[in-house]
Amino acid sequence: MSLDYRFCIAPMMKKTDRHFRYLSRQFTKKAVLYTEMIHANAILKGNPEKLLKYKDIEHPVALQLGGCEPLQLAEAAEVGASYGYDEINLNVGCPSKKVRSGNFGVFLMKDIKLLNSCLRAMKKNLSIPLTVKCRIGVDQHEGDDFLNNFISNLSDEGIDTFFIHARKAISGLDTKRNRSIPPLKYDSVYRIKENNPDLKIIINGGIDDIKKCQDHLSYVDGVMLGRKVYADPTFLLEVDQHIFKEKTNNCFNKGMKGYMEYILALENPKDVNRAITHLVQVIKKISFSKEIRKQLLLNVRNSKKDLKNIFTDFQEDHLLKSQSQNP
């Protein structure tokens, strides 16, 4: 079954864990969700159950893998598929120092022979889609000719879906600066779709409102948003109606109630803390004052506090915020 990629939530390290994906699913039923990038070695030598388990509500959900050893990636992909993920995605776009030292992520764009070996090995025993997330270039490897040849080469290996960050990666920049330097080149991604109409092309980078999403969808098959969604998860309430043209019963109050019930049902304190970290993003967005934020978080951490009372506090705070913005 082919996934509907019109709106995807980007894989983000230390952010798109299973708790954040559960929160996201309270506000959108249709967006495709992605795990954080998980290195193949971590799955093979660590605890795959801890790394890969998720709730059925998260579907459609994809596993993003990192690495550069073909056999390890192939084995990790098979393990991921056995957990029921809808897709395996190979990270060929991350420019972090850790990735550079391991020669994977975006640095695989410089070694097409190795990348092809990885994809060939991964596809061999995989029955679910294998996709690639990349950049428009890296260091001196840039320009339309390079990107066209890169995409063409990978499509020859049977890859038909590409998530393309419309900004070149630069080795000398830290990850944070490489999010804003150099400039985005959306036209480069549009031209890839124009030249390869049979491929699915999803654009990523700097997209921060629904109108921009709709504009991009005139040229490509989908949009992928990361930081905007994490900074304001309630933004997702617009997605099903405006991007997928579907009416749903998603709403702020229902979504928050669902997520708080989820938090209060968690048994592991570390899981609770991680889940609350994501809740802070929503509270920052709606909260009327720092004092209210602090009290709401204390209430959630206090398991003796009645869920109904916490939820009432949220509703009242949300109303105060709305009234202050619309006097």
- Return the active site residues: 94
Instruction: Say how far apart CA 89 and CA 298 lie, in whole Å.
Output: 38
> Residues for the chain: how many in total?
327
Q: Tokens 């063409």 correspond to what residue? A: 152
Write the DSSP string, 188-248: HHHHHHHH-TTSEEEEESS--SHHHHHHHTTTSSEEEE-HHHHH-GGGGGGHHHHTS----
Determine whether 13 is exposed, middle or buried from the number of CB atoms within 10 Å of its CB (0-12, 13-18, 19+). Answer: middle
Phi and psi at residue 222, to the nearest 5° = -170, 170
Of 58, 60, 62, 46, residue with least CA distance to 18: 58
61 bridge partner residues: 33
- In the three-class reduction of DSSP (H, G, I as helix; E, B as strand; rest coil), residue 91 is classed as strand
Instruction: Say how far apart CA 188 and CA 319 lie, in whole Å.
Output: 44
